[in-house]
Amino acid sequence: LFRSGYERGRRFTPSFEYYSDWGSQSAFAPMRGQVHQIVPGGDFHLAKNFTWNVGIGIGLTAAGDRLFYKSRIEFSFPTKGRD
């Protein structure tokens, strides 16, 4: 997994993610058996500690899904001494 985001404002952060499955550590799978996917998306900051992440994934190889949707809801618990 690789994820990069650019904080443009307080409410939305665009992001780009890359997911892959190359096979086992002892021997990589042939290219037709590997999964490589890119996911452009972003984080919607709905409240101080509440974020909704969404993205549309695109499969780059036949072994994985060609098109998919991903979503994640995140709640950050406040800790002492931090905002």
Question: Minimal CA–CA distance to 57: which of 34, 35, 39?
Answer: 39
Over residues 6-43, the pLDDT tens digits come to: 887 789 999 999 999 988 888 888 888 899 999 999 99
What tokens were used for 24? 């086992």
* Tally of residues, the chain: 83
User: Which pTM value belongs to this model?
Assistant: 0.78
Over residues 43-77, the pLDDT tens digits come to: 999 998 999 999 999 999 999 899 999 999 999 88
